[in-house]
Amino acid sequence: MINNKKVTVVLPAYNAARTLEITYREIPFDIVDEVVLVDDKSKDDTVEVARKLGIKHIIQHDRNLGYGGNQKSCYNKSLELKSDIVVMLHPDYQYTPRLIHSMCYLIANDVYEVVFGSRILGKGALKGGMPFYKYVANRLLTLSQNILMNQKLSEYHTGFRAFSANVLKSISYNENSDDFVFDNQMIAQIFYAGFEIAEITCPTKYFDDASSINFKRSSIYGLGVLKTSFSYLLQKLGFAKFKIFSRPA
């Protein structure tokens, strides 16, 4: 705990058997109270590794729901556990858990309610091996999103995020896509609800076992990202209403 606030780390897992242990071993359990792993019908022994590590809260999907569907289960379970701070960490070891302290203290001390680990602040992305075409796509998409949503994030596509429970309870994340665009829909919801997002520099690693999506999926994701940003703008201007921006029931 930090300031009597319960901290939960959620791990949306898919075929993470090779990297789960090294990720788990770096989680700072001096402040982290609970770990939730949601396995999205992995084809490897992710669940067996999780059990050997002693992870208490393991959810197994009966079918592959997708990255967004996985996160919905993660956040629903974290709220069920009455968490005050929730950290979403990819179990593929692309992001270092050693930043969890810094991210959580900003929330626990009421400085921000949302904190992202950014690969773009500094030179962490290319230095860590991000493919150049992905870096360029990241920058172009982020520029477009900042213009459409009138924000100034360094990137919208990081998978390392921390939230207060209040934020999760204030947005309708269960209405979002089950696919990768879930992340960007969630950002749009957070901004629409009036929250600010803090960012800290995050080194990243790209290697064979790190999760990635192919060019076709990346293109679909990019179009979904732009659609989300335009939806945000239209709702803000009062020209349309979208269910994802409604308050949770």
Complete edge-to-edge strand list for the sheet that includes strand 7-13 = 57-60, 34-39, 7-13, 85-88, 161-164, 114-118, 198-201
Each of the 249 residues of the chain gets a pLDDT tens digit; together they read: 999 999 999 999 999 999 999 999 999 999 999 999 999 999 999 999 999 999 999 999 999 999 999 999 999 999 999 999 999 999 999 999 999 999 999 999 999 999 999 988 876 667 667 778 778 888 999 999 999 999 999 999 999 999 999 999 999 999 999 999 999 999 999 999 999 999 999 988 765 655 556 777 888 899 999 999 999 999 999 999 999 999 997
Q: pTM for the complete prediction? A: 0.93
> What end-to-end distance do the CA atoms of the chain give, in Å?
29
Enter the tokens of residue 157: 């596509």
Enter the tokens of residue 74: 């993660």
201 burial type by CB count under 10 A (0-12 exposed, 13-18 middle, 19+ buried): middle
d(CA 152, CA 162) in angstroms, rounded, equals 18
Question: Domains of the chain, with CATH numbers?
Answer: 7-245 (3.90.550.10)
Phi first, then psi: give them for residue 139, nearest 5 degrees. Answer: -65, -40
